[in-house]
Amino acid sequence: MDDCLFCRIANGAIPVELLHNDELVAAFRDINPQAPTHILIVPKAHIADVTQVGTNDGQLLARIMQVAAELAQREGIAATGFRLVANTGPNAGQTVPHLHFHLIGGRVLGWPPG
């Protein structure tokens, strides 16, 4: 989608430092980090949110989980723990209507989140 911020980032129209980039998924640091490690993992295909994930998206979701694990390892947070979050809708705090996962770690994370 031409007007979707994350589509434009994932497909290179808006330059950012990509921490991961393959045919399905891109990852980059959040501009408003909530922890020492705060990375956004986004599918390159436009999917608005979790409610729009279809039965044919299994490979994509598996790839997102693999990328999250690889990035957690690379960032040094895999052994101590991290959070992987997908907000859905405005009441959950989703501000960009494109499915994305927050990989958050590098400090003790409280529960429930604030």
Inform me whether the pLDDT recorded for 112 exceeds 90: no
Q: Please report, for the domain that includes residue 71, its CATH number.
A: 3.30.428.10
* Within a domain: 78: yes
Question: Which of 1, 76, 73, 80 minimizes the C-alpha distance to 44?
Answer: 1
Mean pLDDT over residues 47-56, rounded? 96
* Within a domain: 113: no
Question: In the prediction, which pLDDT does 74 show?
Answer: 98
9-41 pLDDT, tens digit per residue, is 999 999 999 999 999 999 999 999 999 999 999
Question: In the prediction, which pLDDT does 114 show?
Answer: 62
Q: How many domains does the chain have?
A: 1
* Within a domain: 114: no
* Within a domain: 112: no
Question: Which of 68, 91, 65 minimizes the C-alpha distance to 78?
Answer: 68
Q: Where in the sequence numbering do the catalytic residues fall? A: 100
Question: In the prediction, which pLDDT does 23 show?
Answer: 96
